[in-house]
Amino acid sequence: MVRSRLLWRLYAGYAVLVVLTTAMLGIMVARSVEGDLLRQIESSLRSDAVLLGEIARPYLSAAPDSVFQRRIWVLGAQTGTRLTVIRPDGVVIADSREDPSGMDNHKMRPEVLEALARGVGTASRYSHTLDQEMMYVAVPLRSGADVAGFIRAALPLARVDERVANVRSIVLLGGLSAALLALLIGFLVARSFTRPIARMTAAVSYTHLTLPTKR
């Protein structure tokens, strides 16, 4: 009984410390990994836009081309990314998801304005064209000092959230596994530590009970 009480008193404090520490570290790691993942997705979209820019350059100063539009459709399907080619005046000349002739002027889109000001623009917002939340990355295509147009790449935020959720699940599973292992090891250590103390306590109690009482 003495050993049991001592074991659980010692182990309870250790268990609380392990749980709190694991939770704090798990939150920190999850946020860090999620941030890295979002930056990787933005970097990938930017790379897609930059590569498309070299393909789109000859078409930015020409009339809309059905062959180029079909090529953008194919590239979008292959990359799983929505690709949009925009002239400097905001007119869309090609898009991998919609008919550009029916699309609004994109000159005032947040990602386009930021790309013009900073060299790359990012935005997460609702797309009325596709009727869903999207993550956009836009880059300007320059011809000397002038802007020849803008290239934009985008992914549905649902797919981005799915990747983030997968990362959270992995971090959670890893944290739980580490916590359970630490709790098991702590229990074994606490049991081995309290065993000799319990024996000493029991021996002292036995000696006290067996000693003759002075009268």
Q: How many CB atoms lie within 10 A of CB 113?
A: 16
Contact criterion met (CB below 8 Å) for 172 and 180: no
Q: Residue 191, exposed/middle/buried by CB under 10 A (0-12, 13-18, 19+)?
A: middle
Structure confidence by residue, pLDDT tens digits, 68-92: 899 999 999 888 899 999 999 999 9
Cβ(143)–Cβ(56) under 8 Å?
A: no
Name the helix (H) or strand (E) containing 34: helix 2-56
| Segment 148-185, tens digit of pLDDT | 999 999 998 877 777 777 877 887 888 788 878 887 88
How confident is the model over 15-73, as pLDDT tens digits? 787 788 878 877 887 787 777 878 888 899 999 999 898 889 888 877 767 888 999 99
The Cα 101–Cα 64 span in angstroms is 9
* Helix H or strand E segment including 206: helix 157-210
